[in-house]
Amino acid sequence: MLKTIIVGASGYTGAELANFITKHPELELAGLYVSENSADKGKPFSSLYGKLLGIVDMPIQPLAVADIPRACEGIDIVLLATAHEVSHNLAPDFLAQGVDVFDLSGAFRVNDLSFYEKYYGFTHQYPELLEKAVYGLAEWNAEEVKETNLIAVPGCYTTTSLLALKPLQQAGLLKPGTKPTINATSGVSGAGRKASTVSSFCEVSLQPYGVFTHRHKPEIDEHLGCPVVFTPHLGSYKRGILASINAVLNEGVTPEQVAKAYADAYQDEPIVRLLEGSYPALKNVEGTPFCDIAYAVDGEDIVLFSATDNLLKGASSQAIQCINIKYGFEMTTSLL
Ligand SMILES: NC(=O)C1=CN([C@@H]2O[C@H](COP(=O)(O)OP(=O)(O)OC[C@H]3O[C@@H](n4cnc5c(N)ncnc54)[C@H](OP(=O)(O)O)[C@@H]3O)[C@@H](O)[C@H]2O)C=CC1
Ligand SMILES: CC(=O)N[C@@H](CCC(=O)OP(=O)(O)O)C(=O)O
| 156 classed as catalytic | yes
Q: Say what the pLDDT of residue 65 is.
A: 96
Tens digit of pLDDT at every position of the chain (336 positions): 999 999 999 999 999 999 999 999 999 999 999 999 999 999 999 999 999 999 999 999 999 999 999 999 999 999 999 999 999 999 999 999 999 999 999 999 999 999 999 999 999 999 999 999 999 999 999 999 999 999 999 999 999 999 999 999 999 999 999 999 999 999 999 999 998 999 999 999 999 999 999 999 999 999 999 999 999 999 999 999 999 999 999 999 999 999 999 999 999 999 999 999 999 999 999 999 999 999 999 999 999 999 999 999 999 999 999 999 999 999 999 999
Q: Say what the pLDDT of residue 102 is.
A: 99
Among 156, 196, 230, residue to substitute to test ligand 2 (most atoms within 8 Å of Cβ)? 156
Superfamily (CATH H level) for 2-154+314-326: NAD(P)-binding Rossmann-like Domain (3.40.50.720)
Q: Which residues contact 10 (CB under 8 A, 6 or more apart)?
A: 32, 34, 38, 40, 45, 48, 60, 193
Pick the residue whose CA is nearest to atom 33 on ligand 1. 35
Among 6, 40, 41, 82, residue to substitute to test ligand 1 (most atoms within 8 Å of Cβ)? 82
Q: Say what the pLDDT of residue 125 is.
A: 98
**Which fold does the domain 156-310 belong to in CATH?**
Dihydrodipicolinate Reductase; domain 2 (3.30.360)
Atom number of ligand 1 nearest to Cα 190: 3
Spatial separation of the C-alpha atoms in residues 205 and 194, rounded to whole Å: 18
- From 255, 245, 243, select the one nearest 300 (Cα to Cα): 255
Q: Say what the pLDDT of residue 149 is.
A: 98
How many C-beta atoms lie closer than 10 Å to residue 305's C-beta?
20
Exposure on the CB side of residue 249, measured as CA atoms within 13 A: 24
**Start and end residues for every CATH 3.40.50.720 domain found in the chain:** 2-154+314-326
Q: Does the complex come out with an ipTM higher than 0.90?
A: yes
Residues framing ligand 2 (Cβ under 6 A) = 105-106, 155-157, 186, 190-191, 232, 234, 314
Closest ligand (CA of 110): 2
**3-class SS at 219?**
helix
Pick the residue whose CA is nearest to atom 14 on ligand 2. 155
Q: Rg of the chain's alpha carbons, rounded to an integer?
A: 20
How many C-beta atoms lie closer than 10 Å to residue 15's C-beta?
23
Spatial separation of the C-alpha atoms in residues 167 and 179, rounded to whole Å: 15
User: 33, 62 in Cβ contact below 8 A?
Assistant: yes
User: 85, 122 in Cβ contact below 8 A?
Assistant: yes
Spatial separation of the C-alpha atoms in residues 330 and 269, rounded to whole Å: 12
**Start and end residues for every CATH 3.30.360.10 domain found in the chain:** 156-310
State the catalytic residue, choosing from 72, 156, 291, 322: 156
Centre of ligand 2 to C-alpha 130, Å, is 20
Q: Say what the pLDDT of residue 133 is.
A: 98
Closest ligand (CA of 187): 2
Spatial separation of the C-alpha atoms in residues 283 and 288, rounded to whole Å: 10
